[in-house]
Amino acid sequence: MIKVDLSTYTKACILENQIEAQIADDFLTKQNIPHYIKSFYSEAYDGLFQLSSGWGALYAPPIFHQEIREVINDLRKF
């Protein structure tokens, strides 16, 4: 298992929903782009923050941010 230093990851974009998150995750994984996705869902607030803040966020090393944003923008065109 490869150890990844997540402290170097920063927020690349906000994801609108779980489907967008799954498609982005699949595509970025296939392209070997390091990333992780964090949902804004909180059981204590029953998803309240997702209504105002988006479904979640995609984090990656800053060098990949532009490429990730292009992928997300292309995905949102469909």
CB neighbourhood size of 71 (10 A): 20
Distance CA 25, CA 37 (A): 8
Q: Domain boundaries in the chain?
A: 7-76
Q: pLDDT tens-digit profile of 19-65?
A: 999 999 999 999 999 999 999 876 666 556 556 678 899 999 999 99
pTM: 0.82
Q: Which long-range contacts (CB under 8 A, 24 or more apart) does 50-55 make?
A: 53/14, 54/14, 54/15, 54/16, 55/14, 55/15, 55/16, 55/17, 55/18, 55/20, 55/21
The confidence band for 14, taking pLDDT boundaries of 50, 70 and 90, is: very high
